[in-house]
Chains A and B, each alone.
Chain A
Amino acid sequence: MALITSQQYLESVKKLKPKVYVGGKWVKNLLDNPVTKSMVMANAAIYDLAQEPEAKEIMIAKSHLTGEPINRNLNVARNIHDLDMRQEMALLTSQTVGTCNYRCVGCDALNALASTTWEMDQALGTKYNERFNNWLKMAQSKDLAVSGAITDAKGDRKKRPTQQDEQDVFLHLVEKRDDGIVVRGFKVSQSGAIGAHETLVLPGGGLKDDEAAFALSFAVPNGSPGLSYICQYNAYSAEREYFGDETEELGNPIYGQRETSTMVFDNVFIPWERVFLCGETKYAGRLVTRFAKAHRMNCGGACKVGFADVIIGGTMLAAEYIGVEKVPHIQEKIIDMVRLSETSHACAIAAAMRGREEPKGSGVYLPDDLFGNAAKLNIAHGFWEIIKNAGDIGGGLVVTMPRLKDLDDPEVGPTLKKVFGAAAPAEKRLKVAKFLQHWAAGLHGAGTWHGAGAPQTQRFMFQVLTDFDKKKKMAKKLMGMKEDEAPKAAAKK
């Protein structure tokens, strides 16, 4: 049973009872709460995609461990084609649900783990890779929804993890026992763990030698005692709760905004068989860097491009509904939106095509670092421009519209239909305005900025990965300028 249907996933979710808190209450059933349900339904749609024949090449891969067909969300990339299909999956899933593929971070985390655990076993003689492969085989055989948790709360940024007043702001080891470890602390801004079967936890960044307690990576089942989830809560959460089953009132009716939570680990036990890093500080940074490398290609250069595609589509409809679709500056703005998104996608494709085995001998392929970072940095800035143009062309209505159901109100409905009727009926105009509101006035601007790491991290990587001396030499050569002579300090002696 290497591929399950959305119905099988939903049946499994009915039995998952994670400790989830949403806006003042504990949620007993993920499918009964409108907010958590939207996240689960997005996951279900991703399971559906893998059943569609036309999406097969993108969504299904062959397990390198068993040879069985598996969902690509659980695949370890073994070649360039895998990397390319991985970023295409990010594009397709975003186009399909208009929110997170909540298995995406887990997929990039497991690729980073496949690479780094192999490297550790080679260098240190550990058994992490064997354990990880056992876990992966199990996850693949059950087609589990696996999410990923990376970001620590971090506390006072001037202080290292060991210096924090509140130790839990970095997830840390409490106890090492014969049968496993006990961990404690928080992971924040985590997407979709509530509806996942398991979550892969990685360190939040590089660590120093004396920070071994924070060098942790493991897989944790969703309902593990001691683990709880405090979900994000905002105007969109409140709106979704307010409308309940009347989801047609909402910008993204079924799948909603991106749902995240703060994961609270209160002395959670993790058996050794699920531990993939414990104290090896030297490998914490490598693990996170490899995760970022994969995630910047996918999250930046493909996922957000899928969002851009549906925003562009909605914006064009908004223009048509008021009869401005042929106005030159409108067309120019839409072309700008395409330019920004496709440039990022090109970076993602380049990152995949220039991918390589890392480390040599591991069999694991990771995207090119520079192009992956370029994809993310480009879309971080470009996405604001894209939603700005959507708001521009969509007009003030995007944020001033009444409720959709007000059109059916016997008293104000007839008036509203007159007010908002244009080249299309008021119903269509308001529907697309609500859709654009979801993007232009929603959570995705800041989400895109920070997701896969804030732009400053990509700028730092540009600094590290770019050979600036080589560029200066090329410029000098072209100008006919001689190379600077080496310092003659030795000659003076």
Chain B
Amino acid sequence: MTGDGSQHEEDRNRLSNEVGSGMEIIEVKIGKSGSIYTGLEGTFANIVECCLRKKVLPGFHEKGLVADAKLKDRTLTLVLSGKLTGAKLTEMMEIAMPNIGAYADKGDNASFFIGVKSEK
């Protein structure tokens, strides 16, 4: 294994196994609001791969958009470059998630979390 995310991969695998049913529930938090997405198991790992290793946001092809990404346990903290409003961040994540196979859903039993902030 190589790259920034290697130390967290065991945790991710363990967490994936806990969820069962073949699906993952992911909550995207922007400020105080949260949106729920579901995707096949491995979806969170895929997002982490994109943001942490490749430094890209799915569905966005411009370089430098991901200013910073950190993974701690089951939470990915994402900082996007530029002075982006909460509404813009929400709009961007609504594009990013389906492009990696995660779809908007309802519920509150998220197993994984993505906190999204704008670069100051």
A134 in contact with B95 given A224-B46, A225-B54, A273-B22 (CB within 8 Å) = no
Q: What mask results when residues 170 to 208 of chain A are scored 1 for a CB within 8 Å of chain B, else 0?
A: 000000011110000000000000000110000000000
Whether B54 pairs with A17 at a CB distance below 8 angstroms is no
A142 within 8 A of B: yes
As a 0/1 sequence over residues 206 to 247 of chain A, the CB contacts with chain B under 8 angstroms (1 = contact) are 000000000000000111111000000000000000000000
The answer to whether B117 has its CB under 8 Å from any CB of chain A is no
Instruction: Give the contacts of A135-157 with B (CB-CB under 8 A).
Output: 135, 137-138, 142
- Report A423 CB to chain B, min CB distance, Å: 52
A179 touches B13 (CB 8 A): yes
Task: List the B side residues contacting A17 at CB < 8 Å.
Answer: 59-61, 95, 99
List the A residue with the shortest CB-CB distance to B45.
A179
**B49, A269: Cβ atoms under 8 Å?**
yes
CA distance A197 to B100 in the complex (A): 9
Q: Which one of B1, B40, B100 lies within 8 Å of A273 (CB-CB)?
A: B40
B57 → chain A, closest Cβ, in Å? 8
Q: Which residue of A lies closest to B104 (CB)?
A: A15
A322 on interface, CB distance cutoff 8 Å: no
A272 to B22, CA, bound (A): 12
Task: Type the 1/0 row for B28-59, where 1 means its CB is closer than 8 Å to any CB of A.
Answer: 00000000000111110110011001101011
**B99 x A16 contact (CB < 8 A):** yes
CB contact under 8 A between A222 and B42, given known A17-B60, A179-B13:
no
Answer whether A223 and B42 are a contact pair too, CB < 8 Å, given A17-B59, A177-B9, A178-B1: no
**Interface: B98 (CB within 8 A):** yes
Chain B min CB distance to A245 (Å)? 25
Report the interface size for chain A: residues with CB under 8 A from the other chain.
31
| Given A19-B61, A135-B40, A177-B1, A269:B98 Cβ within 8 A | no
Query: B94 on the interface (CB 8 Å rule)?
Result: yes
Interface residues on B, range: 20 to 34
Tell me, yes or no, whether A271 is within 8 Å of chain B by CB. yes
Given the known interface contacts A177-B9, A273-B22, the answer about A221 and B95 at a Cβ–Cβ threshold of 8 Å is no
Give Cα distance in the complex from A345 to B12, angstroms.
51
Contact B10 A178 (CB under 8 A): yes
Q: Using known A-B contacts A17-B99, A180-B42, A271-B43, determine if residue A225 contacts B50 with beta carbons closer than 8 Å.
A: yes
A178 vs B41: C-alpha distance when bound (angstroms): 14
Please indicate the chain A residues that have their CB under 8 angstroms from the CB of B101 in the complex: 197-198, 221
**Which chain A residue has the least Cβ–Cβ distance from B46?**
A271
Q: Which residues of B are found within 8 Å of A138, using beta-carbon distances?
A: 22-23, 39-40
- CB pair B100–A223 under 8 Å, yes or no, is yes
Contact of B95 among A15, A137, A142 (CB under 8 A): A15
- The docked-state distance in angstroms from the alpha carbon of A96 to that of B98 is 29
Within the assembled complex, what's the spacing in Å between the Cα atoms of A15 and B9?
29
Q: Are A15 and B94 in contact (CB under 8 A)?
A: yes
Decide: A12 and B98 in contact? CB cutoff 8 A: yes
Could you say which of B53, B100, B101 has the most chain A C-beta atoms within 10 Å of its C-beta?
B101
Q: Which interface residue of B9, B12, B53, B61 has the most chain A CB atoms within 10 A?
A: B61
- List of A residues within 8 angstroms of B100 by Cβ: 221, 223-224
Shortest beta-carbon distance, A135 to chain B, in Å? 6
Q: Is A274 an interface residue, CB under 8 A from the partner?
A: yes
Cross-chain contact A16 with B42 (CB below 8 angstroms): no
* Residue in chain A with minimal CB distance to B54: A225
Would B13 and A134 count as touching, CB distance under 8 A? Answer: no
* Cα(A165)–Cα(B103), bound, Å: 41
A221: chain B residues within 8 A (beta carbon): 46, 58, 98-101
- In the complex formed, the residue of B with least CB distance to A130 is B22
> Which of chain B's residues have a CB closer than 8 A to the CB of A12?
98
Name the B residues within 8 Å of A19 (CB-CB): 61
Specify which chain A residues have a CB less than 8 angstroms from the CB of B12 in the assembled complex.
Answer: 179
Residues of A within 8 A of B54 (CB): 225-226, 269
Q: Least Cβ distance of A121 to chain B in Å?
A: 15
Q: Which residue numbers of B lie inside 8 Å of A, CB to CB?
A: 1, 9-10, 12-13, 16, 21-23, 39-43, 45-46, 49-50, 53-54, 56, 58-61, 94-95, 98-101, 103
